[in-house]
Structure 1
Amino acid sequence: MKKILKRSLTILVSSLMLTSCTPPLWFIKDDTGSNNYKDRQQLVFTHLWQRGSTNYTEINNLIKKFNESDIAKELNVYVKGDGINFWDYWTKVDLSISGGNAPDIFIHAVSSTPTRINQLLNLTAMHDDDVANGRDTLDENEMFFPSQINDISRYAPDGKSMHAWPFSSTVRVIYYNKDLFKEAGITETPKTWAELDAVSEKLTKYNTPGDVNSGYAQVGFDPFTSEGQYIHQWGWLANHSFFTEDSNGRPVPHFNDSTLIENLNKVYSSYVRRDDKARENLQKFMSKEAANSKNPFLTQKLAMVISNEGLYTTLKEANVDFEYGVFEIPPMDESCNYVNWSSSYSIELFDNSKRSNTSDKVAEQRNRGTWEFLKYMYQEEFQEMIANAGFMLSNRTFYDKFIYNDPIKTDLANAIANTREAEFIKAVPNWTSDIQTYVNSIYSYPNGKSVEEAMNNAQKLIISKIDQYYSVNGK
C-alpha cells in the first residue's frame, strides 16, 4: 500500500509543501476556535495540511466556520483539525484505526477503502435518513461519475452503498506539445494505439537526421515513461481482466494470458523501443535528461507523455513557452474502451457505533456531526479551496465554476468518466506494486526479460501469494 501511495500522490505532495518563509510551527496558532467549544462533543478531522503548510490557514478558517454554524450548535459538536505531514500521515492514520482510536473524519486512498469498509459510516444510509426526515442533503449520484461510485460501492456488504466519498479525482492522460505537432504537420490527436505509435515515429528525431546510431535528439512518445509504467493500465486498454473467480470465490489471476502478452508486445515494441538499438538509444536519452535534472517534456525533448493532473500544475509554475494540450490514452483498437487508472483519494467517516466505550446516544450524535461536516466539505467554499490547492475536484456539480473555465482542466475532467481503480483483491491487496519488479525488467537495456518471461514470473508470484493467503486464512 505504501508503494502505491508514494507513487500516486505526487499532486498531493506538491499542494502540501511547506512555504519557504513560514514561521516556526509552534508559533502558528490553531485558529479553529476549538478552545471555545469545550462543552461540545469533539470530532477529529485528520488531514494533510499540517501547521505551516500551504492552505493551512484556509482549512482552519473553513473548520472554524462550520463550528460557528447553526447545525454544529444544534448537534452540540465541534470539529478539531489534526494536520499531519504527508510522509507520516498514512502510517499514523492506519495505526490510530487499528489501535481503536480512529479519527472521526479522515482522508485516505480509494484503493484501500475496502480494508476499512466494515468500520466506516454508511453514507448512503445517512443520505436516506436525511430524506426521510426532510433535511437538506447531497446525492452521490449527482456529484460523482458512475465509475467513481462503482469503485467504492461494489465492496460494500450490500454491493451498492457508499461508505466513502471521492475526495478528489486523479486522471492519467497524455500531455502533448502542440508546437511540435504543428511542426510535424500533425493535425489530430491519435485515437488508437497504432495511430499513437505512428505519431510518435513522426515526432522522433535523431542527433544526425536519419541515422539511428546517432541516438535520439527528440522522442515522440515512450509508453512507459512517467505515469505510463503500470502494466494494468495497458491491459485494461486492451479490455483485459487480470482477475476472475473460481467456483469457490477465490481469485484466479490472468497475468500471462496469450492475448495479454500479444497486446503488451505491441506496446513494448513501440517505435522508440522497437529493437535493441532503439532501447539503447532511449536508455541513453532518458539518462542524459535525468543527469541534467530536467523534465524532457518541459524542455520539449519529449513530445508526448502520460501523466496526471499534477503535471498541469508543474507546467503552469514553469511558465513554459510552448502550447500544450491533453488527450485520453488511446485504447488498443477501436473495439476496446477508453480507460485510465485513477488511484484517487477518499474522505471517510468512522462509524462511532463501532467505537468502544461510546454510548448509542453519543455515537449517533458524533455520526450526525461528521455527516453534516462532510456535506459542508462538498459545498462551494470548501470545494473552491480544494480546487485552488491543485486538486482535481470529484464533485462535478462545481465544474462549471472551477473547471470548465480552463480548457486543460476541462479535458482532464472529461477523462474522469473513464477512470478506474485497480481491483481490490483481499488475498493480494498490493498486486499492482507486487508485480512491478517484473514489469520493470521487460526489455530493460541491456539484459531485460521478454514480456512472456516477465508475465510468467508475475503469474507465479500472484498465485503463490493467493495460495499463502488461503492457507493461513482458509476460505
Structure 2
Amino acid sequence: MPRNRVLTAVVAAASISLLASACVGSSDSGANDDPDAKTTLTFWHGWSAPSEVKAIEENIKSFEKKHPNIKVKIVKGVTDDKLNQALRTGGSNSPDVVSSFTTDNMGRFCTSNALADLKPFLDKAKIDPAKVFVPSMAKYTEHEGKRCTVPLLGDAYGLYYNKDAFKEAGITEPPKTFSEFDKVVKKLTKPKGDTFERLGFMPNYLGYETTVEHYGNAFGVQYLDGNGKSNTAKDPAVKNMLKWQKNLVDELGGFQKLNKFRTSLGDEWGPKHPFHTGQVAMQLDGEWRGKMAADAGLDFEIGAAPLPVPDDQVADYGKGYLSGTILGIANNSPKKNAAWELVKYLSTDTEAVVSFANAIHNVPSTVAALNSPKLNDDPVYRTFVDIAQHPKSSHAPSSVNGGAFLLTLQDSAQKYENGKEKDLDALLKKNDEQVDKDNEQAG
C-alpha cells in the first residue's frame, strides 16, 4: 500500500473536524444480527492500484466461499474524508466494514465511537490481540485501552541503498549509527555546481518519507507525556533529532540548495523516483519500495537495512518506524456480527494475510503469517519483516486529535531546518503550547 504519509496525515487532519463536531455513535456495540443469515456487507477500502484492488478482491472471494451466506459489496479507493463523513451520518449506502491507511487517525476513530468496540468480538472468538498480532501493531490499533480497530498488514520503514554506489565509494556495509551515516552520505554525494549529480541522502523534511515521525523512532522520541501533554520541549531526543537533521542539511550545502535539487526530482510513486534514477544513493522508505524498484528495471543492485540510530543507542539498531492499514466495523452498522466475520477473516486468517501481503508487498500483521513458509523470501523484503518484529519498532502514540500533533511538530521542524526559527528551545515550547491547545479543543 504505497502512499505518501505526509499527504495522508494532511488529509486525516482535514477530515478530523468531521468527527470532532459530534459524537458519531454510542459506545455500545449493539450486535444483534444473525451472522448465519443471508446478508450483504458493504466494505470500503482505500486501495486503488489495479494489483492492490485485485488482491483484496481475491481475498473477498475466498471469504465468500467460506461464508456462502454473506456477500460483500466492495467500494475501492475511498478517501478518509469520505469515510469519516459516512461513519458520521450513516444511511443505507454507508459501509459496514472499513479500512483506513491513516493509522494516526485511530485515536479519533475510537474516542468518537465512529467504529465499534471490537473487544467483545475478540473475547468471544478467544483471540488475544497481543499474541495473535505483531505486538507493536496490536498496540497502534487501540487507544487508551479501547480497541476499535485491528491491523490489516503493516508498513515497516528502513534504509534502501545503491550497492553499486557503495562499491564505487569503497563502502562495504550500511551504516549503523548516525555519525557513520553522515560520513557515508557525504562520501556518496557528488556536487555539480549549485546542484548535485548525486546526493547521498535527502534529509529535508519535505523530502519523500523523511518526516519527523519517521525519524522519531530512531531517536526514541516521546511525543507525549503520561498525561497526554506535548513533551517535545522536555524530551532531549527531540532536540537531538532536530539538531542532527539540521547539521546534515547544512553540511550538504544548506536548505535552499537541497530544496532546489528536491524540486527537480521525479515523482515519488513513478519510475523516475530519484532512488530509481540514481540521483539519490540512499532512501528512507517502506517495504513497498523494493517491488517498485524491481518493477522500474534498475540498472544497479539495491540493498536494504534498518535506519541508523544515535551513537549512544547502537544496541537498538534494527528497529524502525511502523505503520499500517487499520480495519474496523462501522458503529452504525446493523450487521455487526456478520461484519465481524469479515474482519476476523481478513485480519487473522493466516492464508488470507500471507497471500495479501505477498500480492501487495506489505508486511504481515500476524505472528503466524510472519512465520509462514509461504511468505515472500526476497532478502530485501525480509529486511522489513525483521524490522517489524524488532521489540523497539513502533508507531507514534495515538491521540484524541489524530495525527495533528505530528503535523505541528513537522511544521516546527521545517522552520528550524530552513533557518526561520533559530532558538530551538523557544520553538519547541511554542510547539507544545500549540499541540496542547489543539488537543484540548478536540477532546
TM-score (norm 2): 0.78
- Structure 1 contact 60–81 (Cα < 8 Å) conserved: no
Hey, what does 2:198 align to over in structure 1? 218
160, 164, 167: which one pairs with 1:179?
164
1:329 match: secondary structure: coil
Hey, what does 1:130 align to over in structure 2? 125
- After superposition, the Cα gap between the structure-2 partners of 1:63 and 1:240, relative to the gap in structure 1 and judged at 3 Å, is closer
Q: Which stretch shows the higher mean deviation, 367-376 or 190-199? A: 367-376
1:220 match: secondary structure: coil
Within 2, Cα distance between the matches of 1:472 and 1:435? Answer: 17
108, 114, 134: which one pairs with 1:115?
108
For the pair 1:426 / 2:404, whether they are aligned, the reply is no
Hey, what does 2:63 align to over in structure 1? 66
**Which structure has the bigger radius of gyration?**
1
Within 2, Cα distance between the matches of 1:437 and 1:64? Answer: 44
- After superposition, the Cα gap between the structure-2 partners of 1:254 and 1:441, relative to the gap in structure 1 and judged at 3 Å, is closer
- Structure 2 contact 141–326 (Cα < 8 Å) conserved: no
Within 2, Cα distance between the matches of 1:434 and 1:169? Answer: 25
For the pair 1:43 / 2:41, whether they are aligned, the reply is yes
- After superposition, the Cα gap between the structure-2 partners of 1:186 and 1:8, relative to the gap in structure 1 and judged at 3 Å, is farther
For the pair 1:301 / 2:279, whether they are aligned, the reply is yes
1:277-330 alpha-carbon deviations (Å, 9 max, x no partner): 454543443344459x94322122221111112322320111101111111111
- After superposition, the Cα gap between the structure-2 partners of 1:5 and 1:167, relative to the gap in structure 1 and judged at 3 Å, is farther
Hey, what does 1:438 align to over in structure 2? 412
- Offset of 1:251 from its aligned partner? 1.4
1:305 match: secondary structure: strand
Amino acid at match of 2:437: D
Root-mean-square deviation (Å): 3.6
Within 2, Cα distance between the matches of 1:234 and 1:451? Answer: 20
- After superposition, the Cα gap between the structure-2 partners of 1:59 and 1:185, relative to the gap in structure 1 and judged at 3 Å, is closer
Give runs of aligned pairs for residues 8-407 of structure 1, distance below 5 A: 40-48=38-46, 53-54=50-51, 56=53, 59-60=56-57, 62-69=59-66, 72=67, 77-86=69-78, 89-101=79-91, 103-108=95-100, 109-117=102-110, 118-131=113-126, 139-157=128-146, 162-207=147-192, 215-224=195-204, 226-245=207-226, 249=227, 251-255=229-233, 260-270=238-248, 273-274=250-251, 277-290=253-266, 294-335=272-313, 337-338=316-317, 339-351=319-331, 366-377=335-346, 378-383=348-353, 384-399=355-370, 400-407=372-379
1:55-112 alpha-carbon deviations (Å, 9 max, x no partner): 545544543443343xx35xxx5132231334xx322221111113452211023322
Count the aligned residue pairs.
Answer: 402
Within 2, Cα distance between the matches of 1:328 and 1:143? Answer: 25
Hey, what does 1:25 align to over in structure 2? none
1:112-132 alpha-carbon deviations (Å, 9 max, x no partner): 22222245444443233234x
Hey, what does 2:29 align to over in structure 1? none
- After superposition, the Cα gap between the structure-2 partners of 1:402 and 1:300, relative to the gap in structure 1 and judged at 3 Å, is farther
Within 1, Cα distance between the matches of 2:237 and 2:149? Answer: 35
Within 1, Cα distance between the matches of 2:70 and 2:166? Answer: 54
- Structure 1 contact 44–81 (Cα < 8 Å) conserved: yes
- Structure 1 contact 261–452 (Cα < 8 Å) conserved: no
Within 1, Cα distance between the matches of 2:194 and 2:6? Answer: 39
Stretches of structure 1 that go unaligned for 5 or more consecutive residues are: 10-38, 132-137, 208-212, 359-365
1:112-154 alpha-carbon deviations (Å, 9 max, x no partner): 22222245444443233234xxxxxx55344422111122235
Hey, what does 1:410 align to over in structure 2? 382
- Structure 1 contact 45–80 (Cα < 8 Å) conserved: yes
Within 1, Cα distance between the matches of 2:278 and 2:200? Answer: 10
1:409-433 alpha-carbon deviations (Å, 9 max, x no partner): 1001111134322222325741112
1:419 match: secondary structure: coil
Within 2, Cα distance between the matches of 1:367 and 1:405? Answer: 37
